[in-house]
Amino acid sequence: MCIGLPMRVIEPEGSFAWCEGEGGRERLDMILIGEQSVGTWVLGFHGAARQVLSDAEAAQARAGRLALAAVLAGDRFVDEYFADLVGREPQLPAHLQRRGS
């Protein structure tokens, strides 16, 4: 399974940047998203930054990875990692909702 990691830019180097995340420090190719300033969250995947993340998106991605680790460790109760989803009814995307209803 391949999963992108949320990483924070700590040192830009032109079309590359040193970034830090849960997996440690990594030099990412920034060519797909352009040069980013220190503190910017990016989604790192196979040595490249694939997209810029907001603070909220980075927090959700980190929470999802922590939930996966908890499940793999045998924890069956992971609602705390998905506070944005717990107690909420699922919503269809606008393009799948019935028109005129």
Length of the chain counted residue by residue:
101
Q: What is the per-residue pLDDT across 1-60, written as a single tens digit (0 to 9) for each? A: 568 899 999 999 999 999 999 879 999 999 999 999 999 999 999 999 999 999 999 999
Dist CA 59 CA 5 (whole Å): 11
Phi and psi (nearest 5°) for 40?
-70, 135
Helix (H) or strand (E) holding 23: none
Q: What is the per-residue pLDDT across 53-84, written as a single tens digit (0 to 9) for each? A: 999 999 999 999 899 999 999 998 899 898 88
So what's the pLDDT on residue 90?
A: 84
Instruction: Name, in order, each residue with C-beta under 8 angstroms of 20's C-beta and a sequence gap of 6 or more.
Output: 7, 8, 10, 26
Domains along the chain with CATH numbers: 5-82 (2.30.30.140)
pLDDT grade, residue 100 (50/70/90)? low
Owner of token pair 């980075």: 58
> How crowded is the C-beta side of 37, counted as CA atoms within 13 Å?
0
pLDDT, greater one: 97 or 74 = 74
Coil/strand/helix, residue 45: strand
